Amino acid sequence: MAQKTRQGFVRYWLPVLVYVILIFTASSIPHLTPPFHFPNSDKAVHLVEYSILGFLLTRALRTIPALGAASKAGLAALVMGSTIGALDEIYQRGTPGRESSPFDWMADTLGLTLALVLYTWNARRREAPARRQER
């Protein structure tokens, strides 16, 4: 049982932990600018960055029996990810050349929402044949 738990952690939760560390590491880099050069390109980066976090969180949260349904895990991921986004914005206030913005947090939350919708849609699509066979 311990081996299965360890494998579950490595497969589902370790990627979440590593990714959150990467987010905060990037937030620690002074004067970091987005790789794209168009108006509000930083919002696009936030959207993609937190969509990935949303996917990883939803995937990990589905391993908890009470949150097994994709929609329940996705909503929990939305709350957790949005909290991480808010903490990241607060953390960035102390990094030289970086700004903290509620619009960045909104882009984070939008990315999480996008991941929730896509993950839930895909999970329902993949699980639909199994539900039809049970009937």
Q: What digits encode the pLDDT tens for the residues 20-66?
A: 999 999 999 999 988 888 998 999 999 999 999 999 999 999 999 89
Model-wide pTM > 0.75? yes
Q: How far is CA 44 from the centre of its chain?
A: 15
Q: Give helix then strand counts, H and E, for the chain.
A: 5, 0
